[in-house]
Amino acid sequence: MARRDEFEGKSNNRNKTKNRKFRNLLIIEAVILCIVVGLYAYLILILPKHGKGGNNSVNEQTSGDTKDNTDTVTQALTLEEQKQRQLEKEQKETEKKISDLIAEADKLALGYDYDKAIDLIKSFGKNYTDYEVLIKAVAGYEATKQTLDPLGAYDSVDEINHIFFHTLVADPKKAFDGDSKSNGYNYYMTTIDEFKAMMQQMYDKGYVIVSIHDVAKKVKGEDGKTKYVTGNIMLPPDKKPFVISQDDVCYYNYMTGDGFATRIVIDENGRPSTEMTMDDGTVSVGDYDMVPILETFIEEHPDFSYKGAKGIVALTGYEGSMGYRTNDKASPTYDQDQETVKKIAKVMKQWGWEFASHSYGHRDMGKATYNFTKKDTDRWLKEVGSLVGSTDIYIFPFGIDMETTMGHYSSDKFKYLKQSGFDYFCGVYKDPWIQVKDDYVRMTRRPLDGQAMLQFPERLADLFDLSKVVDKTRPALK
Ligand SMILES: [Zn+2]
C-alpha cells in the first residue's frame, strides 16, 4: 500500500508536474495565439487602417500643401489669366463693335445719309476719337459730304422724274395669252424682266430713288405758317434723283390666273414680299412684283436709294388692298385681313415704302362732282386709310387730274381733299413736271408701260435703250 501510495504519491507528483507543464504549455500556446491573433489583427485590421490613415494624413498633408500651393498658384495664375482674358474679351468686343458700327455707317453713307453715318460713329461714345479707324471714318464721310451737290446732276426739281408702274406681269405667257384682257395688259402693264432691265439701266445712268417728301417738303415759316418748298436733296454731282410709284396694288379679281402675284406678304425674314400661285397650285413667296423686286435690287445696289427711300404704293379700296379683300365685311377672313394689312403697311413703311390714295372707286376725278369726291374720299379714308395709316399723297385714277388749271387749284374738290389731309397730287404726263405751291405740291408721273414702250418709244429715249428692255413675247398693240 505504501509503495502503492508511494507509487501513487510519486505518480501523483509526476502527474502534478505533467499537469503544470501542460498548463504552462497551454499558457504559452495561448500567449502565442494571442500574439498571433493580436499581430494578425494588428496587421490586417489596425495596421492597414492606421497605415492608410497615416498615409492619408501624410498625403493629406502633402496634397494639402500641394493643393494649397497649387491653389495659390492657380488662383494667382487665374487672376492674372482672368484679367488677361477679360481684357482680350473686351478688346475683341470693342473691335467687333467698331467694325459693326463702321459697316452700318458705311451702309448709311452708301444711301447718301452721311449725317446719320457720322452721328452713328459718334454714338460710340465721347472716346470715339481714341480709335484711329473711327476718326478716319468720320473724316471720310465729312469729305464725301463736301463733294455733294443739291439735286446731284440736276439744277432744279423740274427735272426730277416720277415714274410709275402697275402690277408687274410675272408670267407673260399667261398675261399675253390672247384672251379678252391681253390687250389691256399689253397697254398698261410692264413685265418683271422689263422692270428689272429698266432699273438696271437707270442705275447705270446714275438715277437714285428719292421720296416725294424730299423733292418738296413742308416747312414752318417765321410767321408760324407752314408752306411747301423744294427739298434739299444732296447727291454726288453725277446722280439723278427720281420718284417711283406703283398704282392699283390691289391684285384685283379680274387678274386671277393671268400671271400676276396674288398679294403682298411679309416673308419669313420680315421683309415685304409677294405671294403667287404656281402652275401646280402651290403658293410661292418671292419676287413676283415691284415691291420685293425693288427691295432685292436695292439690297444689291444700296446707292440706288436716297436715305432709304423706296416707292409709293397707290391703293384703291373697292376690292380691298394689297390682295386682301378688306372691303368685304362678309368675308370669313375679314377681321384677320384687317390686321394683316395693318401689319404689312407698318412693316413696309419701316422699309421705306409710302402709301397713297388712288381713290376708293377708281373714277375720273376730273369729271367727278364735289359730292362724289367727298363720298369717295371718306370711304377710302375709312376702309383703306384706317389700315395703311394717314397719307398726304393722292394719285389720280387714270392719271386724270381733278383740275386742268396750270395755276393754283381752286375747286371745292381740292379743298375737300386738302382738308382730308392730301397735299401731294399726282397726275400723268410724258415729261417731268412739278408745281410747288405754298399749300400743296403737284407732280406728274411718266408711265413706263407697254403703251409707252411700243407706241411712244421716243418719249423714253432719255431713260432707256428700249431694245434691251421690251419683252420679246409682247404681242403688237391692238
Ligand atoms: Zn389706277
Residues with Cβ within 8 Å of 46's Cβ and at least 6 positions away in sequence, in order, are none
Tell me the three cell numbers of residue 424: 401731294
**Is residue 294 a contact partner of residue 244, using CB atoms and an 8 Å limit?**
yes
Mean pLDDT calculated for residue range 344-370: 98
| Cα–ligand 1 centroid distance for 172 (angstroms) | 20
In angstroms, the CA 162 to CA 327 distance is 30
Model confidence at 31, in pLDDT bands (50, 70, 90)? low
Q: Is the pLDDT of residue 457 over 90?
A: yes
| Cα–ligand 1 centroid distance for 397 (angstroms) | 5
In angstroms, the CA 166 to CA 428 distance is 13
Tell me the three cell numbers of residue 96: 467687333
Mean pLDDT calculated for residue range 96-113: 96
| Nearest partner of 418 among 357, 334, 346, 469, judged by Cα | 357
How many degrees, rounded to 5, is the angle at CA 243 between CA 238 and CA 247?
155
Q: Which helix (H) or strand (E) holds 226?
A: strand 226-230
Percent of the chain's residues with pLDDT above 90: 82
Mean pLDDT calculated for residue range 100-106: 96
Q: What are phi and psi of 453, to 5 degrees?
A: -75, -40
| Cα–ligand 1 centroid distance for 445 (angstroms) | 12
| Cα–ligand 1 centroid distance for 283 (angstroms) | 26
Who surrounds ion ligand 1 at CB < 5 A? Answer: 247-248
The pLDDT tens digits for 166-223 are 999 999 999 999 999 999 999 999 999 999 999 999 999 999 999 999 999 999 988 9
| Cα–ligand 1 centroid distance for 431 (angstroms) | 19
In angstroms, the CA 61 to CA 67 distance is 9
Tell me the three cell numbers of residue 207: 438715277
How many degrees, rounded to 5, is the angle at CA 211 between CA 151 and CA 270?
135
| Cα–ligand 1 centroid distance for 398 (angstroms) | 5
- What rounded mean pLDDT belongs to the chain? 89
pLDDT recorded at residue 81: 85
In angstroms, the CA 243 to CA 189 distance is 18
| Cα–ligand 1 centroid distance for 377 (angstroms) | 15
| Cα–ligand 1 centroid distance for 53 (angstroms) | 97
Tell me the three cell numbers of residue 103: 459697316
| Cα–ligand 1 centroid distance for 402 (angstroms) | 14
Q: Is the pLDDT of residue 131 over 60?
A: yes
Centre a 10 Å sphere on the Cβ of residue 364 and count the other Cβ atoms it contains: 13
Q: Is the pLDDT of residue 403 over 90?
A: yes
Residues with Cβ within 8 Å of 243's Cβ and at least 6 positions away in sequence, in order, are 160, 161, 162, 163, 209, 210, 211, 212, 215, 312, 443, 445
End-to-end CA distance of the chain: 171
| Cα–ligand 1 centroid distance for 157 (angstroms) | 25
Q: Domain residue spans in the chain? A: 2-146, 150-468
Burial 124-158 (b: 16+ CB within 10 A, else e): beeebeebeebeebbebbeeeeeebeebbbbeebe
pLDDT recorded at residue 140: 97
| Cα–ligand 1 centroid distance for 278 (angstroms) | 26
| Cα–ligand 1 centroid distance for 469 (angstroms) | 23
Tell me the three cell numbers of residue 471: 419683252
Percent of the chain's residues with pLDDT above 70: 84
In angstroms, the CA 195 to CA 449 distance is 9
How far is residue 308 from each of residues 269, 270, 341, 350, 433, measured CA to CA in Å? 18, 17, 22, 9, 24
pLDDT recorded at residue 79: 84
| Cα–ligand 1 centroid distance for 248 (angstroms) | 5
In angstroms, the CA 217 to CA 226 distance is 10
Mean pLDDT calculated for residue range 293-312: 98
| Cα–ligand 1 centroid distance for 193 (angstroms) | 21
| Cα–ligand 1 centroid distance for 365 (angstroms) | 12
| Cα–ligand 1 centroid distance for 447 (angstroms) | 11
Q: Is the pLDDT of residue 50 over 80?
A: no
| Cα–ligand 1 centroid distance for 392 (angstroms) | 18
Specify which residues 395 forms β-bridges with: 426
- The larger pLDDT score, comparing residue 471 to residue 62, is at 471
What CATH number matches the domain at 150-468, 3.40.50.720, 3.20.20.370, 3.40.50.300, 1.10.10.10?
A: 3.20.20.370
| Cα–ligand 1 centroid distance for 350 (angstroms) | 25
| Cα–ligand 1 centroid distance for 298 (angstroms) | 25
| Cα–ligand 1 centroid distance for 255 (angstroms) | 14
Specify which residues 163 forms β-bridges with: 244, 446
Q: Is the pLDDT of residue 252 over 50?
A: yes
| Amino acid letter, 437 | K
| Cα–ligand 1 centroid distance for 48 (angstroms) | 101
pTM: 0.82
Beta-strand pair 312-315/354-357:
parallel
The pLDDT tens digits for 195-207 are 999 999 999 999 9
Q: Is the pLDDT of residue 48 over 70?
A: no
In angstroms, the CA 70 to CA 58 distance is 17
**Is residue 266 a contact partner of residue 276, using CB atoms and an 8 Å limit?**
no
**Is residue 477 a contact partner of residue 186, using CB atoms and an 8 Å limit?**
yes
| Amino acid letter, 473 | T
pLDDT recorded at residue 63: 45
In angstroms, the CA 409 to CA 464 distance is 34
Phi-psi region of 421 (alpha: psi -120 to 50; beta: other; left: phi over 0): left
| Cα–ligand 1 centroid distance for 250 (angstroms) | 10
DSSP assignment, residue 407? S
| Cα–ligand 1 centroid distance for 185 (angstroms) | 13
| Amino acid letter, 77 | L
| Cα–ligand 1 centroid distance for 81 (angstroms) | 69
Mean pLDDT calculated for residue range 45-52: 46
Burial 371-389 (b: 16+ CB within 10 A, else e): ebbbebbebbbebbbebbe
| Cα–ligand 1 centroid distance for 180 (angstroms) | 19
Q: What are phi and psi of 275, to 5 degrees?
A: -110, 145
| Cα–ligand 1 centroid distance for 42 (angstroms) | 109
Strand order in the sheet with 283-286: 263-266, 272-277, 283-286
